[in-house]
Amino acid sequence: MFESDLLGAFVRHRSIGIFDSGVGGLTVFKEIASLLPGENLIYLGDTARVPYGTKSVATVRRYALEAAEFLVDQGVKLLVVACNTASAVALPQLRERFQLPVIGVIEPGARRAAESQNRRIGVIGTEGTINSNRYPEAIHALLPDAEIFTAPCPLFVPLAEEGWAEHEIARLTALEYLQPLLAAQIDTLVMGCTHYPLLRRTLQQVLGETVALVDSAEETAKSVQQLFQQQGLAKPEHGGHRTFFVTDVPTRFERVGQAFLGNSLGRVEQIQIG
């Protein structure tokens, strides 16, 4: 824990830093805010450089290090990589660079997926996340004989941002993407992209009620809570502050973010990184 009560109190009152390529990480932000309402949260959406999901590993790593550096400079006590693509390709580099706990979204999602009964697990995400093979690696580490079926689903990102997550177009798109996973008789599907929890109802409709959907955002919030319990990092009071930063003009982030979060964001400040 801490060398003194004073140091402990000081660290506990610091914020949690959360970053994503854009608006999608607000699904993770929302789960953390609801599970840990007393915590001060600082969110950074790298909206000037979104999407990360179609970019090279080297570029996403550089972006992730620059976004994290901004949050670490704000004095955060924990870094949450709310982006699946950045978690897939940059987590070891972030952990090596910064002297604070770093939580990504992949390990928490994989832990939940490893509870599969028939050990036939589907994983969907951006091209970058699927190409990285990080989800299958993390699931196999826990469940070595699992059979894993992956599919990149890039069109789900713009559909969610357009507010069409439950539109007929989303249902037909999901049917097309998920057909091979349905044929493989998966009993669990990992929604391995920040935007996909918005499509939960559509995905469930296409897959049927028997397939369990794993929400990496929810699982990540639980991991943050567990880490805080273990390390005595939780801020005890309620009513945490929420601060939002973006790297492009905030207009679109504010509008789309409201739909992702379910309420208005308040002030969003534009900053420059990199």
Give min distance, CB of 2 to ligand DGL, in A: 33
Of 44, 130, 146, 157, the residue at the interface with ligand DGL (CB under 6 A) is 157
206 CB-side CA count, 13 A: 27
Is 51 a residue that touches ligand DGL (CB under 6 A)? yes
Least distance (Å) between residue 144 CB and ligand DGL: 26
In DSSP terms, 151 is beta-bridged to 124
Largest CA distance in the chain: 58
52 lines the binding site for ligand DGL (CB under 6 A): yes
| Binder of ligand DGL out of 47, 116, 126, 202 (CB under 6 A) | 126
Close Cβ partners of 58 (under 8 Å, ≥ 6 residues apart): none
Out of 102, 123, 130, 193, the active site residue is 193
Site for ligand DGL in 64-103 (CB under 6 A): 83-85
Cβ nearer to ligand DGL, comparing 11 with 105:
105
Spell out the residues 6+ positions from residue 226 whose beta carbon is closer than 8 angstroms to its own: none
193 catalytically annotated: yes
* The binder of ligand DGL chosen from 12, 17, 24, 36 (CB under 6 A): 24
Closest CA to 25 of 179, 197, 251: 197
Contact between 109 and 214 (Cβ < 8 Å): yes
84 vs 188, beta carbon nearer ligand DGL: 84
Amino acid at 215: D
199 binds ligand DGL (CB under 6 A): no
Using the rule CB under 6 A, which residue among 76, 193, 211, 261 binds ligand DGL? 193
Q: In 3D, which of 182, 177, 138, 137 has the Cα closest to residue 157?
A: 177
Q: How far apart are CA 226 and CA 232, in angstroms?
A: 10
The verdict on 31 binding ligand DGL (CB under 6 A) reads no
Angstrom distance (rounded) from CA 149 to CA 156: 18
What number of chain residues touch ligand DGL (CB under 6 A)?
A: 17
Active site residues: 83, 193
- Residues near ligand DGL (CB under 6 A): 20-22, 24, 50-53, 83-85, 126, 129, 157, 193-195
